[in-house]
Amino acid sequence: MIALTLREVADTVGGELVLAGSDVESTTVSGEVHTDSRKAGPGSIFFALPGEVTDGHLFASSAVENGAVLAIVERMLDLPVAQIVVPDGVAALADLAREVVARVRALGSLRVVAVTGSNGKTTTKNMLRAILEREGPTVAPFGSFNNHVGAPISMLAVDEQTRYLVVEMGASAIGEIASLISIVTPDVGIVLKVGLAHVGEFGGPDAVETAKSEMVTDLPESAVAALNVDDPRVARMAGKTRARVSWFGLGEGAEVRGSDIEATAEGTAFTLHVDGAERRIRLRILGEHHVMNALAAITAARALGVDAERAADALESLARAARWRMEVQPREDGVIVLNDAYNASPDSMAAALKTLAQIVRPDQRSVAVLGEMAELGDLADEEHDRIGRLAVRLNIRKLVVVGHAARHIHNAAGLEGSWDGESVLVADADEAYDVLRDELRPGDVVLVKSSGSAGLRFLGDRIAGVSE
């Protein structure tokens, strides 16, 4: 974070500054901002936020012990460092992010890209990091820091040298993306897809579309709205923005277009068409669905003035999308684990299964370990049923379905009489591991996929023997 005095921080967040010991109002702070006391380090700022499970105020002293020099709290605590008492810690976090980004923007060199969509946000953000960090100092956090807390923390990592800021913006309700946009107005706003992720919380696909359109609604005429030409719900957003629209996708109307996709166990290749030229791009990331993410990243980079050839070179160097996102984990005995269990929606689950079916050679066996797709509301049974039937149509050889909430995957697969594969329903990850430990054989390709709440990413690591 840029250097601010304690008084400047207090004035920015509208709080009462309480000094301790030798603290003075003119003391400057410029460390990292954290809401997790375990991540606090020397010179950091700790926001004590109340949560659904616990309360950050309970861990403020631990943050100080780890080196935090300022605590922003909703009630005064007995701490040996300066505190700023605010009525609402989340609002204070947003206010501080807004001020910091505005000050860096005033220097004239900072450009901001924001990305949203039901799937692919984190991968696209990581692709943009790979492209933009070759052009100049870039802030694009690792992990999915995309909500009302994580996104502002991402923004606060900028400093006077930062040239590019890439912000991931997720939502589980209408108004949440608009709130993030009010903190920082992007130069480029990307909308990847309107799907069924979080549809249970939104109340239906139309509400998801409304929420995602908030990415472009308030963009100024000087900005660029990068939109997926192949998704009708995203395409409709062109009528809701004043910004210049730049289309990406596989359709003929795309300015940045992909064709001739080839998915293998070594990665994903496609032909890029842009500005009258063609180039074959070979991603080291598995799954044809990542082509759309790559096209979105190239479109955004192009809007910022980055040559498409340079963007393509950067994408080809990217080793993986992100931790637990189609992460290839080979074992010494020849078993290959595809750990894609960071999160799941019906669209991403279907894409992962299709990738598994595409990359398995005739002499290999496809195994899918599938858990719950959360937050689907009334559509949960239907969508899990659809995934089970898809696994059969793709001729996945063995299914291990984990947990009662995912049972309809198992039930639907079992009802497909033409399938000669096998499905097993187990209670939890430990039981799944026991089944796989006994049955996996060299050459098997194992997909592990579920929503994050199911915790199967750790099962994937365990199967692969990964200790990280």
* Binding residue numbers: 117-123
Query: Which residues define the annotated binding site for ATP?
Result: 117-123
Residue 11, classified by CB atoms within 10 Å of its CB into exposed (0-12), middle (13-18) or buried (19+), is middle
Is 115:128 a contact under the CB 8 Å cutoff? yes
- Rg for the chain (alpha carbons), in Å? 23
Contacts 24+ apart (CB under 8 A), 200-203: 200/375, 200/376, 200/377, 200/378, 200/379, 200/380, 201/172, 201/173, 201/375, 201/377, 202/172, 202/173, 202/174, 203/377
Residues 280-298 as b/e (b if ≥16 CB within 10 A, e otherwise) read ebebebbbbbbbbbbbbbb
Tokens standing for residue 183: 């903190």
Tokens standing for residue 215: 């990415």
Tokens standing for residue 280: 């074959």
Is 176:198 a contact under the CB 8 Å cutoff? no
